[in-house]
Amino acid sequence: MVFQLAIVIIIPIIMGVVFVPPFDAPEAPDEEIKPPSEPITDIPDRDFLYFFLMLVWLFFLIRILFQIKRKTFKIQRKF
């Protein structure tokens, strides 16, 4: 049960660190910004990873909610 809670808590944190760019204050441009003539190809495409992590997160969240509804979700201490 603790593993499920850890997954539901950790996946959004990882997604926030990986997929949300850090905030940079906008600076006044020194020269006029020109659009690139060729598309930028060095940016990795992580849409599939984001989609997969969201599916895993949603699965664990729904599983926990159903267990709570049936009153079978218990956190057991093992020492």
The pLDDT, as a whole number, for residue 53 is 81
The single residue listed with the structure tokens 């060095």 is: 42
- Phi/psi for 24 (5° steps) reads -115, 130
pTM of the model: 0.55
Report which listed range, 31-40, 48-57, 61-70, is most confident.
61-70
Confidence of residue 48 (pLDDT cuts 50, 70, 90): confident
